[in-house]
Amino acid sequence: MIKIVNLIAVFLISTFYINAQDFSVGNDQGGFKDPVQWKTHVEKINDKEYYLVFDANIEKDWHLYSQYNPDGASLPMTFSSEQADSLFVFEGKALESKTHKAYNPQFKKEEIFFSNKGTFKQKIKLLKDDVKKITVSLFGQACKTACVLVDPTFEFDLTKAVPVTKMQVADAQVSEHKEKDFKEPQGEGNDKKKGLLALFLLSFLGGFAALLTPCVFPMIPMTVSFFTKQSKSKSEGIRNAIIYGLSIIALYVLLGTVVVKLFGADSLNILAANPWFNLAFFVLLVVFAFSFLGAFEIMLPQSWANKMDSKADKGGIVGIIFMAFALAIVSFSCTGPIVGTALVASVSQGGWAPVISMFGFSLAIALPFTLFAAFPGWLNSLPRSGGWLNTVKVFLGFLELAFAFKFLSNADLVWDTHFLEREVFLSIWIAVFGTLAFYLFGKIQLPHDSPLKHISVGRLMLGLLVLTFTIYLIPGLWGAPLKLISGFPPPLNYSESPYGVGSTKGGVLQEELPEGAVYGPHDIPSFEDYAEGLAYAKKVGKPVLLDFTGKACVNCRKMEEKVWSDPKVLQKLKNDFVLISLFVDLVKKLPKEEQYISKTTGKKIRTYGNKWSDLQMSRYKANAQPYYIILDHDENTLNGFTSYDPDIKKYLDWLNEGKEKFDANK
């Protein structure tokens, strides 16, 4: 029975890992204006230097963002003046009063902001002696459930300056931006907590899977034997066991910390969307899969293990710590691929997720070693080592192989090469899971398998489950939506036969497609150029549904396959709106004459993806996908925006509201 539970647990663990990167959350919409009221005054330092003081009174539940808000998140505050460098110069960034921090799941960033009140003190130095009045403009962003620009202009009369006052300020550097009294605003950061908790649990299950491999499981009784011999009393044995467990955890948490420091906490989510990084993940996971299937073993140098063993033999606390290192090195051929997969999954979370992931993974490994070392009598309840351990390892290898092709698909979608279209992807998965089913039924043996005279009932049930999943995938070749894995394979329209093998346009005539449009998901005519789509909407008198999406956006595919496929929603999208789908990750180059420098980010806009991303950030102050907006013919937003939310009724109500407002304004 234990073996049955073990195999089912491994299946669930790996299934969860496949979806571990999908924790993005959408925002609601709102319609408030001018949520920030300002008061200003001048403070005199000396005859040449002054502080320009901006006091912000912020409406309840709104956030005004700091100058130090990270790139790729809500817009930070900036200061400018047409008189700068002629009448005066800004001396560094403004001092800020105390700020708050909270994770924004839309941007996957920890943002820095003011709530209720905030103060900026911008130091200036005069370049001329007779300057009496200067003008300074602010440019930033305030958000609640929607975001508005904050761009007031103020005139300061230097003759009315008051003495300098003291102010408790926040640190000037983001990396050192610490607040001892920080309290996360209610409702903020909940999505991050949920995402990190889910990642922790998945990593814990991954550690449990690693524990059931042939490199790790047999080491439990060996470790217990060591502590039994080395400990003079039961209390000393428990103490040593705890130190051993903590050493294992510290080792893997250190690994997660190195990953964050190496790539940078804020850049991990950027790497996760990079096609070259996805390609590297694909290669890495294929290598892991081949290792688990028995082609070779990934091992660290034997000399490392020998050195750790020699130091562990010295005994004492130092010896125990080196025992933990020895465990990690000796078991690396089994734990390495699982650790790698856990880190890959955590990268898409960004921030310190790799540390959380490694903590969950190591805790699952450390607990059994610690408990059995502290209470050796429990060993009698463990199942015996045997061929089932290699079965677990092979099972993981098949799942690693299937998981790898998701990353190859991401890169293919971004590059738009059509190398791994939907039919090819599904064929690979059918082959992988079909072969896994045959393996579980005992029809296939791999290099390290023990002779199999019969299979257990548990293995038979797991084989039937995998075979059922394989059969479920087959109709996908003929156009079935496969909602169980929606968002994972390439979308239906990214295939050799968008309407299913042997099918045609399903009654939709080619000549019905508007000029400049393409067939989008579910045969919805879609424009991939903003100007062309807007012109057509004006021509036919329909509102625009603006869809900021991405080729490698999992949640975009989920919305299209789960929500857009609903008959009522689909009827609305085809008949009542003009769909403009702008892919923010297109790598196709813009013509030289159309390339420009973004006024929002200051970066060079070279590709169509850059162009649509810049449009979303500059006009709508967001960069999450999917992101949906309904526009009238004057490009006004009719009813805010919506994002990823698989609630069909909510989405349909939102569409109806936008259409009603458009009709009312005609």
Rg, Å, the chain Cα set: 29
Residue range 18-36, pLDDT digits in tens? 444 343 333 333 333 578 9
Which residues, listed in sequence order, are joined to residue 52 by a DSSP beta bridge?
Answer: 42, 122
Locate 367 and state its tokens.
């607990």
In which element (H, E) is residue 115 found?
strand 109-115
Closest CA relative to residue 375, chosen from 245, 212, 235, 250: 235
Locate 664 and state its tokens.
């009312």
> How confident is residue 14, by pLDDT bands cut at 50, 70 and 90?
very low
Residue range 342-367, pLDDT digits in tens? 665 555 555 567 777 788 777 877 78
In this structure, are strands 49-58 and 153-157 parallel, antiparallel, or unpaired?
Answer: unpaired
Residue range 307-338, pLDDT digits in tens? 555 545 455 566 666 666 666 665 555 565 56
CA distance linking residue 184 with residue 103, whole number of Å: 9
Tell me which of 414 and 79 has the higher pLDDT: 79
330 Cβ contact list (under 8 Å, min separation 6): 215, 219, 305
Determine the straight-line distance between the first and last CA of the chain, rounded to whole angstroms: 68
Tell me which of 468 and 446 has the higher pLDDT: 468
What's residue 383's pLDDT?
A: 55
Amino acid, res. 520: G
Amino acid, res. 531: A
In this structure, are strands 117-126 and 88-90 parallel, antiparallel, or unpaired?
Answer: antiparallel
What's residue 13's pLDDT?
A: 42
What's residue 656's pLDDT?
A: 94
In which element (H, E) is residue 242 found?
helix 234-263
In which element (H, E) is residue 135 found?
strand 133-143
Calculate the average pLDDT of the chain: 75
Cβ-contact 334, 214 below 8 angstroms:
yes
311 Cβ contact list (under 8 Å, min separation 6): 318, 319, 322
State the average pLDDT over residues 550-557: 77
Q: Is 250 exposed, middle or buried (0-12, 13-18, 19+ CB in 10 A)?
A: middle
Buried b (16+ CB within 10 A) or exposed e, 266-302: bebbbbbbbbebbbebbebbbbbbbbbbbeeebeeee
In which element (H, E) is residue 464 found?
helix 457-473
Q: Is the model's pLDDT at 527 over the cut of 70?
A: yes
CA distance linking residue 260 with residue 280, whole number of Å: 18
State the average pLDDT over residues 568-584: 93
Can you tell me whether residue 108 is helix, strand or coil? coil
Cβ-contact 157, 42 below 8 angstroms:
yes
Could you give the C-alpha distances from 110 to 198, 318, 607, in angstroms and in order? 18, 38, 28
State the average pLDDT over residues 375-392: 62
Which domains does the chain possess? 2-21+190-420 (no CATH), 36-176 (2.60.40), 510-664 (3.40.30.10)
Q: Is the model's pLDDT at 428 over the cut of 70?
A: yes
CA distance linking residue 596 with residue 605, whole number of Å: 5
What's residue 338's pLDDT?
A: 61
Q: Is the model's pLDDT at 532 over the cut of 90?
A: yes
Buried b (16+ CB within 10 A) or exposed e, 313-328: eeeeeebbbbbbbbbb
Cβ-contact 100, 114 below 8 angstroms:
yes
DSSP string, 394-447: HHHHHHHHHHHHHHHHHHHHHHT--SS-HHHHHHHHHHHHHHHHHHHTTS---T
> How confident is residue 387, by pLDDT bands cut at 50, 70 and 90?
low
pTM: 0.46
Long-range contacts of 568-576 (CB under 8 A, 24+ apart): 568/648, 568/652, 569/648, 569/651, 569/652, 569/655, 570/522, 570/524, 572/652, 572/655, 572/656, 572/659, 573/522, 573/524, 573/545, 573/655, 574/523, 574/524, 574/525, 576/542, 576/543, 576/655, 576/659
Residue range 605-661, pLDDT digits in tens? 888 888 998 898 888 877 677 889 999 999 999 988 888 888 899 999 999 999 999
Closest CA relative to residue 212, chosen from 13, 458, 439, 392: 392
Tell me which of 575 and 175 has the higher pLDDT: 575
291 Cβ contact list (under 8 Å, min separation 6): 297, 298, 333, 336, 337, 397
CA distance linking residue 134 with residue 126, whole number of Å: 10
State the average pLDDT over residues 559-574: 91
What's residue 381's pLDDT?
A: 55
Identify which of 393-397, 497-501, 576-580 has the greatest average pLDDT.
Answer: 576-580
State the average pLDDT over residues 537-541: 94
CA distance linking residue 150 with residue 138, whole number of Å: 7
Closest CA relative to residue 366, chosen from 321, 408, 398: 321
CA distance linking residue 528 with residue 540, whole number of Å: 18
Can you tell me whether residue 84 is helix, strand or coil? strand
CA distance linking residue 644 with residue 621, whole number of Å: 17
Q: Is 187 exposed, middle or buried (0-12, 13-18, 19+ CB in 10 A)?
A: exposed
